[in-house]
Chain A
Amino acid sequence: MKLLKVSGILLFSSSLLFGCANTDKTTSTEKVKETKNTATKALDGVTEAYREYAIGEIEEFVKATEAFTTAVKNGDIEQAKALYGPARMHYERAEPIAEVFGDLDPKIDAREGDVPEEEWGGYHRIEKGLWVDNTTKGYEQYADQLMKDVNLLRAKVDTVEVTPDLLITGAVDLLNEVSTSKVTGEEDRYSHTDLYDFAANVEGAEKIYQLLNQELEKKDKELSKEIQTRFDEIYSLLNQQKNGDGYKLYTELTEAQVKELSQAIDALAEPLSQLGMVTEAS
């Protein structure tokens, strides 16, 4: 879900749309802290490995964005269109990390309406130019800005502290993104390349699962197996929607196929949401 800048937009109020009571969290909080500490140590290697993975993806994203923005600036519309979907996959795989930068994420990935019109730039702005206006003219400045932002993201990404929490929530969040915007065709609403983002989110979640799996298997072998089975099922569904090296357009999917993909994500995300048990002492 691509979102707005925080500052100045929200008023904090105690009158709530979705209210939650002030919960008493004495005893359970203590226990939670214990588990957390145990976890952090055991998962040190994992978080480091994930950092490397995410940085690797962001580096690929820099290269892919370079090629994409160059095509836009060269006025090569067909080339730009061809590069759009695949380029975004690197970003979508590393989203738990990329999103940490609350200022850059909307600049790179905001959809129309997520931010005020005058602030709207990034991939989706150019997407609209390519597929709706059918031109690159006038979009050169957006391409320049996008490249700057992506370079800045690369520079900043080294500073991210990867915690087990980030991984655990990140894995399910990636699938939630699929459930709420990719499977509905809202993400790439002009190019309809949603399945690229879909697949990349799933791959990003799978990477986290793989990294945590050694720890997970110690806790619950069955669960680990089930998660792998569910990943396999999604890939098998996605493979049916391949078109050459890439994927079919969202608009080519039947309603039944969309529903099937959506339900497969639910079937995966439910067991995956149990990943948090890796934080418990063995």
Chain B
Amino acid sequence: MTKHTNTQKDLAINGAKISRRDILKTAGVGGVGVILGASGLGGLLSLKEGNAAATDKKDIIPFYGKHQGGITTKTQNHVYFVSLDVTTSKKEDLVKLFKDWTTASALLSEGKPVGELSSNEFLPPKDTGEADGLSSSNLTITFGVGPNLFVKDNQDRFGLKQKQPKELVDLPKFPLDALEEAWTGGDLCIQACADDLQVAFHAVRNLIRIARGKATLRWAQTGFQRTKQADPKEATPRNLFGFKDGSANSDVNNENQMNEQVWVQPGDGPNWLVNGSYLVVRRIQMFIEVWDRSTLKEQEKTFGRYRDSGAPLGQKDEFETLDLKKKNEQGEYSIPVDSHTRLSHGDGSQKILRRAYSYSDGMDVKTGSFDAGLLFLCFQRTPSKQFIPIQNRLAKMDKLNEYTSHRGSAIFACLPGAKQGGFIGETLFN
């Protein structure tokens, strides 16, 4: 609202000039009196005042480090995930983008704006401002690169072809996949997680703004899980089917386990990705109306766990080791052969680090049902030995497939972390 064109209809309100157009834009609200702000200079908030009180050190997850944040970081309350198409054809633009993103992300992680406010009122503020005064909320920003960044339509777009890891290729088509173009693929991704959705959105918005002219949004999805406020004991979160999800997840505090399952190790492939990881994203619609009318027994047999306690069927405790051999009185396996739990476990040799969030995007306009489900995010060292075999088993016979549909899918290599003074992607681009 810094515009004051020399309008004949400029009005003075509280001593501030507001142009005809500013007022008119509010007129559509139906005659209700709405005037935007106190005015002419409304954009000039003092950033110092705005942010001083805000940041509490305990809410900060350092951006720089051996690995990127947002992978083994304890799952925050919200995610804002975006997939991007790169529109520039110059490698130097891409490198500049990652440098600018790194600088901005380091600031954002500390709850700071992406740039200082200029005293020139004819310029838009560098930071969009909606996180002024908010804490950093454990914000993590994780960047990844997709297969098409290396080769697209047989073109070696940025001279990176030689560097493409064998593991970084489009996922195979799984049985029952109902993927939609609008939710699939991408050259780059940004996963912003925070305990506050406004903080996460602010981060993504500013990063996308920095990317204008170089990359554009391809698709975007927010996600949530129960918050720390709602569940101070931090029990295993429940998905939108009401079941505990993540009981058997890997232990992020166990470094050996993470090195074995999540972090790319020297010798795995090209060295640039060492200390990085592979992210698989699936947007899985859940037919919650259908689920809501199936019996509790049916629901529990579908998952292979009790809804209430999260314990495997036939067992007592949520965290008990699955007893896949156990049979019930009818002589059937307690955990059914087509149950989600049994199939995802397999022989136990394939593990992935799940970091999923629920999503709810209002109504599916075609059916009038909820458009809700799971933004399934998982990290791993070798997709061909981890996500792919697991998903193949699930897609073939998981009973849960009756209640879900995979609408979106993408794979990204999440770059190793950056040192202070360096930038994300340095090992790939240099």
Contacts and interface: CB of A to CB of B under 8 A. Distances in A.
Interface in A1-33: 1, 3-4, 6, 9-13, 15-25, 28-29, 31-32
A44 B42 CA distance: 27
Interface string B3-45: 1111111010110000011011111110111111111011011
B6 to A, nearest CB: 5
B212 interface: yes
A102 interface: yes
Interface of B: 1-9, 11, 13-14, 20-21, 23-29, 31-39, 41-42, 44-46, 49, 87, 117, 119-124, 209, 212-213, 216-217
Contact of B41 (A11, A21, A28, A164): A28
Interface stretch (A69-77, A201-209, A262-270): A262-270
A258 interface: no
Contacts of B120: 32, 35, 276-277, 279-280
Nearest to B23: A6
A169 B5 contact: yes
Contacts of A78: none
A169 B213 contact: no
Given A32-B120, A280-B120, A6 B20 contact: yes
A99 interface: yes
A22 B37 CA distance: 7
Interface of B is mostly: loop
B36 A20 contact: yes
A102 B20 contact: yes
Given A3-B25, A96-B5, A165 B213 contact: no
A184 interface: no
A28 B45 CA distance: 9
Contacts of B213: 226, 230, 267-268, 270-271
Given A1-B25, A4-B27, A10-B35, A23 B8 contact: no
Contacts of B35: 10, 12-13, 16
B21 A3 contact: yes
Contacts of B45: 23
Contacts of A39: 122
A17 B34 contact: yes
Contacts of B5: 96, 99-100, 163, 165-166, 169-170
B21 A99 contact: yes
Given A102-B7, A166-B6, A12 B38 contact: no
A273 interface: yes
Q: What are the 3 closest A-B residue pairs judged by CB atoms, nearest first?
A: A276-B122, A20-B37, A11-B33
B37 A18 contact: yes
A48 interface: no
A22 B45 CA distance: 10
A140 to B, nearest CB: 30
A11 B6 contact: no
Given A10-B33, A161-B6, A23 B38 contact: yes
A228 interface: no
Contacts of A31: 119
A6 B9 CA distance: 8
Nearest to A25: B41
Given A29-B44, A31-B119, A263-B216, A163 B27 contact: no
B300 to A, nearest CB: 43
Contacts of A275: 122
Nearest to B49: A24
A257 interface: no
